[in-house]
Amino acid sequence: MTEPGRAGSNPTWLDATAIRDGDHYVINGRKWFTSSAEGAAFAIVMAVTNAAAPIHQRASMFIVPAGTAGYSVVRNIKVMGEAGEDWASHAETLFEDCRVPASARIGEEGAGFSLAQERLGPGRIHHCMRWIGICSRALELMGRRALSRELAPGQALASQQTVQHWIADSYAEIEAARLLVLDAARSVELRGQRAARVKISAIKYFTAGVLQRVLDRAIQVHGAMGLTDETPLAYWFAHERGARIYDGADESHKNVVARDVLRSLQ
């Protein structure tokens, strides 16, 4: 979905087009942050099929096999200085008169936005689950480093009150995020994604914030080693900073939650 010239948080505002031509569509457009495009067998592209339709019915999704003429992976975009490879990459992709059969369309014409929204709720829950896993591992690394690193003979880093507080705060935040995510997932299962929309927004920005804080504390406890690839902390910190941006920036999700709270008080 994401395009260089358009706000990624607005999937109704796209430049890419897919024009019907008989039994085919001709796709033109440029995308970036196309996850895992390198080495993928196909891409799923969202493009405008009817610019005159209502805003949420303008775009459709298509499966484009990697070898299709007119489709190319331009480059892997460097994230915090690293281009990545294979699944751990984010590419700029180009569609130039890329012709696909009408059967490559996913769902009905104009259903692109609805399909995207259907994925986003469970996708955000999945991200939060993954982030909690990273946080749990980072907390373990932080604790082991605090116990094993000595400031002086017989004086472990873990004896410092500040370090103890970092560990305690991390534990509490991880557990709070875990319970919030479980509650949101349960709400989706029992009431559906639309009814759980506010809870999903809340866990998205809350867990992303916990992730960044826990990783920062873990790196600090490791000192200079925390900035190196001797541990996975630096990799996580660089690649997961985007957690507060992709699948909806923190600010967008906070707006959703705040509007719901204010509406309930009117």
Residue 120 maps to a domain? yes
Residue-number span of the structural domain to which 146 is assigned: 113-265
pLDDT at 193: 86
Does residue 251 surpass a pLDDT of 90? yes
Mean pLDDT confidence for 133-146: 98
Average pLDDT of the chain?
Answer: 95
Does residue 9 surpass a pLDDT of 80? no
- Decide if 107 contacts 115 (C-beta within 8 A): yes
Query: In 3D, which of 181, 256, 170 has the Cα closest to residue 220?
Result: 170
More confident residue, 26 or 12: 26
| Helix residue ranges, H only, 192-232 | 197-222
**Residue 15, CA distances (Å) to 27, 47, 59, 136 in order:** 11, 7, 10, 41
pLDDT per residue as tens digits for the range 37-67? 999 999 999 999 999 999 999 999 999 999 9
Residue 232 maps to a domain? yes
Does residue 117 surpass a pLDDT of 90? no
Say what the pTM is. 0.89
3-state helix, strand, coil in the chain (%, to 5): 50, 25, 25
Interacting residues of 114 by C-beta distance below 8 A, sequence separation 6+: 56, 107
CA distance linking residue 59 with residue 107, whole number of Å: 11
Q: Tell which of 62, 89, 110 closes a domain.
A: 110
pLDDT per residue as tens digits for the range 193-211? 889 999 999 999 999 999 9
CA distance linking residue 31 with residue 74, whole number of Å: 10
pLDDT at 220: 98
Residue 151 maps to a domain? yes
pLDDT at 119: 84
Residue 2 maps to a domain? no
* Residue 48 φ/ψ, nearest 5 degrees: -75, 125
Residue 9 maps to a domain? no
142 and 201 share one domain: yes
121 and 43 share one domain: no
pLDDT per residue as tens digits for the range 163-177? 999 999 999 999 999
- Tokens 């017989």 -> residue: 154
CA distance linking residue 22 with residue 43, whole number of Å: 22
pLDDT at 27: 98
97 and 182 share one domain: no
Q: Say what percent of the chain tops pLDDT 70.
A: 100
pLDDT at 85: 87
Does residue 16 surpass a pLDDT of 80? yes
Residue 140 maps to a domain? yes
23 and 76 share one domain: yes
